[in-house]
Amino acid sequence: MKDQKSTLPNSFYNNLDQEHYLPVFKRFPIAICCGSGSRVRDADGKEYIDALAGIAVNNVGHCHPKVVAAIREQAGKLMHISNFFVSEPQVKLSKRLTALADMSRVFFTNSGAESVEGAIKLARKYAHSKGRGGTIISFHGSFHGRTMATIATGKRKMQEGFDPIPHGFKQVPFNDFEAVKNAVDNDTAAILIEPIQGEGGINPADLSFLKDLRKLCDEENIALIFDEIQCGMGRTGHFFAKDLYGVQPDIMTLAKGLGAGVPIGAILSNEMISAAIDFGDHGTTFGGNPLVCAAALACLDVIEDENLLEAASEKGEWFKREVLNLNDPHIREIRGEGLMLGIDFNFEAKPIVLDMLENGVIANATAGSVVRIVPPLNITYEDLEHILKTLKNSILKVKAHAEA
């Protein structure tokens, strides 16, 4: 990364962006031009420690040499063939992921939202085969994507202006089993849940809650869907959060960290669900092409070869202890597992994130008062210490400014 730089400043790219891109993102006025490991550099030459990792995508860091090499090699062989044919990378990835997840089948997609859309289809097809309806139960504080079906599972605010919203969805309070039981009826096809809510503020499900959901789904013959798009792929210190909890879903969705930065998602399902699917029930043009599957295979290799599950667990515990040791009265709680952490403040978190950015650390404010920390799993302790120091200084600065 030392020799890589842009010949044009941040302002040039930001002006072009504002002129041509659909204005759906409130972007920071920074154009990232290169990255390596847990660090990135902008067009002005300023370096940042990335505690956001592309929103929990770059689990093995930016431009990991093994992932870059795999992409380059595969790009020189074959990039896309359509799913009328099989390819070596896709077959290998299918076998590896189903074994890791203890699932029977996998379908590859291009994104997290597409994975959830596909999971809904699988659950409804199974439910209809058993004479049930197609209603999907999700939870307050959840986030499953921004397509029409996935916004129907989430916050009301994200549905505004997009009526008519698809029918067949219910929402109940998170970690409230009685509310779930009261919502289930013969029209229920599935319960859709993030084992640890991401956009909702890094909210872990209670172990007893997930176990009760599993039992209820077995009793009622409905599908339990785990959305592991953010909490999967090693982020919690386990390959999947389901393994952290010891609760096996019927369907699981993946994306984000699966491809180390290339767009790939996955839907995994057990044999019970998979047996309900017929030829032509689902499909994709780009999903699981040779290029992205080669990248995902390399990503899995890195996670295993570099013991990143253990690293995520140990570094996450260290970071939580250090945050608690700050003894800051403005911190209400630090939540999460592994390197999927949320620091909940008693005031709005965005000013802290902006000050951290100014001082060379990329983080994220979510759910109003939460600073989300989801760095690469191979981040160094040195960089974690710098994040912690910057966080501490930003808290002091923001509160001093507010009290002035």
Please give the positions annotated as active site: 143, 227, 256
361 bridge partner residues: 49
Dihedral Cα 148, 152, 157, 160, nearest 10 deg = 50
Q: Rounded CA gap, 135 and 139, in Å?
A: 13
Instruction: Give burial (CB, 10 Å; 0-12/13-18/19+) of 308.
Output: buried
Instruction: Please state, in angstroms and rounded to a whole number, the distance separating the CA atoms of residues 65 and 68.
Output: 5
- Residues 129 and 126: their CA atoms lie apart, in Å, by 5
| Local structure of 340: helix, strand or coil | strand
In the numeric block, which tokens belong to residue 389?
Answer: 């120091």
Nearest-Å Rg of the Cα atoms of the chain is 21
Beta pairing partners, 171: 138
Q: Would you state the structure tokens that stand for residue 108, as one six-digit string?
A: 């590859």
